[in-house]
Amino acid sequence: MEARVIAAAAFALAVSLPLSAADLKAKPQVLLDKLRADIEGVDRGLEGVLGVVVRDLTSGATLELRGREVFPSASTIKLAVLYELYRQAEEGRVDLSAVVQPTSPRVAEGVLERLSDRVSLTVRDLAVLMMGWSDNEATNELVRRLGRERINARLPSLGLSETHLRRQMMDLDAARRGEENVTTPAELARLVEILYRGEGLRPESTRDLLALSLKPEAGAWLRQGLPDGVRAIAKSGSLEGARCEAAYVDLPGRPYSIAIMTAYLRRDADGEDAIRQISAAVHSTFDRLARSSEHGRVISAR
């Protein structure tokens, strides 16, 4: 028994069971232990640093691997921009229907850089581009309108004290100065929960936010580990040497939040593979829990 505890500590991986989840039955706990072992295996094989948080939103059980470590957030920081947009819209600071004409030149990667200087969109359209295509210029336009200081000032009140938007997208000079956008796996998982639940937002704002962000993002690796048709808010991010993604997965009967972050990657593709593998393993485990009787019989509709 003692050896197993020491081994688990060596990987810094823990299953935290709050009082509300302390009565998990033995067999479901075995499934979570096996999931933990699967994540440990991915960690051992990755030439880089991996951070993972998986939160069972039914039992409250939390699976963590370096969940409090700070990682580059890459484009997952856009989730914080999205939340601030809807908060400021409710406060009357921003009009989602206002028409804007993005300025030029525009930073790379996305849709706007390919469009003419005369294109006009609404503020909400910019959010659609930010979430669905991870458009960097659309994000920068929103950050300028919302104010980077206001975005950062909101985050501690949400319990996100290690999440910081320090620069706009594609600002390599700022990145070289060490002004990196950062978060932790635990805070990233918390952020997708906030968005999905619409914490601090009116119901109509939450419905619109979900309608905008539930559509699959092209090229998201975590989503590639999910079956077609699974409802989820997900956002991926990529930088040289870093890949990350977070999602609230609305699995009927067993919803969960998940954040997977990597850094110091020897090969970027390895980080993408790690995210896919972990996502598939987590979904497999939670899907069985959702469709099983209390004794472990899996009941399928087919």
CATH of the domain at 186: 3.40.710.10
CB 208 within 8 A of CB 167: no
Note the pLDDT of residue 109: 75
Q: Which domain holds residue 82?
A: 2-291
Phi–psi pair at 121, nearest 5 degrees:
-140, 165
What is the crossing angle of helices 136-146 and 78-90, to 10°? 40
In a domain, 299, yes or no: no
277: in domain: yes
Distance CA 115, CA 119 (A): 7
Q: One digit per residue, pLDDT tens: the chain, 302 residues?
A: 444 444 444 444 444 433 334 445 688 889 999 999 999 999 999 999 999 999 999 989 999 999 999 999 999 999 999 999 999 999 999 999 999 988 877 767 777 777 778 889 999 999 999 999 999 999 999 999 999 999 999 999 999 999 999 998 888 888 889 899 999 999 999 999 999 999 999 999 999 999 998 877 766 899 999 998 899 999 999 999 999 999 999 999 999 999 999 999 999 999 999 999 999 999 999 999 999 888 888 877 65
Whole-number Cα distances in Å, 284 to 82, 219, 227, 245, 261? 29, 21, 10, 18, 20
Q: Is residue 301 one of the residues assigned to a domain?
A: no
Residue 162 forms part of a structural domain:
yes
Looking at the chain, the number of H-run helices and the number of E-run strands are 11, 10
pLDDT above 70: percentage of residues in the chain: 90
Range list of β-strands (E), the chain? 13-16, 49-56, 62-65, 71-72, 99-100, 121-122, 182-183, 232-239, 242-249, 256-263
Beta strands per DSSP E along 69-131:
71-72, 99-100, 121-122
The DSSP element (H or E) to which 127 belongs, if any, is helix 123-132
Q: What is the pTM of this model?
A: 0.89
pLDDT of residue 14: 47
What pLDDT does 302 receive?
59
For the chain, the domain total comes to 1
Task: Classify residue 297: in a domain, yes or no.
Answer: no
In this prediction, residue 293 carries a pLDDT of 84
Residue 105's pLDDT is 74
Residue (of 146, 143, 142, 148) closest to 124 by Cα position = 142
Q: Is residue 296 part of a domain?
A: no
Residue-level pLDDT at 216: 72
The pLDDT of residue 158 is 96
Please tell me the predicted confidence (pLDDT) of residue 25: 64
CB 32 within 8 A of CB 285: yes
- Residues 6 or more apart whose CB falls under 8 angstroms from that of 130 comprise 78, 81, 82, 138, 139, 142
Closest by alpha carbon to 233, among 243, 251, 242, 284? 251
Q: What CA–CA distance (Å, rounded) separates 183 from 74?
A: 9
Q: Is residue 248 part of a domain?
A: yes
Q: How far, in Å, are 74, 177, 191 from residue 257 at the CA level?
A: 19, 33, 9
Distance CA 98, CA 217 (A): 24
Residue 203 lies in a domain: yes
**Both structure tokens of 187:** 């805070």
The pLDDT score that the predictor gives to residue 178 is 86
